[in-house]
Amino acid sequence: MSPRAEHRRAVLRTQLRALGSHHIQVTERAAHPSAELAEQRESRSAQYATERLRGSVWEHVPLALSAYRGTLLVGGTLGRTGISANALTYLSLAVAALAGLAAASGSLVTAALLVVASGALDLFDGVVARATGTTSRWGALLDSTVDRLSDGLPLLGLVVFYADDGWLVTVPGLAILGAFTVSYVRARAEALGAVLPPLFMRRAERVVLLTVSLFAGVVPCEEGRLQGPLTLLGVAVLAASSFIGVISALRSARHALGAPAPQSRAHSD
């Protein structure tokens, strides 16, 4: 056999081996597409959970990260049913209003369960928006506005509940002011360009503390005619913690905003 023919046979064998290797790789990918897709979804969900919890006290809590990643699966399922993110936002507001009515009537356990349900709906609206590709600035504004109302409605119900107890009615009133103020300070500071470190008493912490306080109302306690004394105590802790959060946010914002502004911002109003 001539050297030229031998060379051609060698080239042909190399090409056949390369083609066979490529075929095996394609076959393997075709045999395991679900595994690759699952791995990609897992990576995206982990990244999204980390981004969403960044700047909160839950940022470095593995259980919180795992729980938030689990909501992505539920959110994707909800998105496929056709329900919109805005519908979930409005529904969370309606449930928060029911929580306020339950608290006003003294049904504290029912109010606690409704607060949890409202918080879950608020959590899923953003997940559904992302899963369905319907995120928007209007949706973000609507969500933030409803969050403030959902913060206040259950506490407003407690104002009615304690209306006959004299000055004690100021405790849930102060909790309302504290919740609104800590949210305003953070939002305004970030709008001015401040990057705040992780701080406590964001909405998730307030929802947890309010829920625990409402559940505590069923614990029997001999305090004369005062109903739900442990609930009132928990709400007082919520109010105090919120104002501590306000002070902490203001101090952090003062430090962040004290740095020289970039040239593009230095001359803006």
Residues carrying an active site annotation: 147
Backbone phi and psi for residue 197, each to the nearest 5 degrees, phi listed first: -75, 170
Secondary structure letter of residue 82 according to DSSP: T
CA atoms of 61 and 259, how far apart (whole Å): 31
Closest to 163 (Cα-Cα) out of 215, 103, 241, 114 = 103
- Render 139-191 in DSSP notation, one character per residue: HHHHHHHHHHHHHHHHHHHHHHHTTTSGGGGHHHHHHHHHHHHHHHHHHHHHH
User: Residue 36, Cα to own-chain centre: how many angstroms?
Assistant: 28
- Tokens matching residue 125: 């609206």
CA atoms of 91 and 123, how far apart (whole Å): 12
146: left (phi over 0), alpha (psi -120 to 50) or beta: alpha
229-257 and 203-216 helices cross at what angle (nearest 10)?
170
List, in order, residues 6 or more apart from 231 with CB less than 8 Å away. 108, 158, 213, 214, 216, 217
Closest to 232 (Cα-Cα) out of 172, 153, 166 = 172
Between vectors from CA 162 to CA 156 and to CA 165, what angle results, nearest 5°? Answer: 145
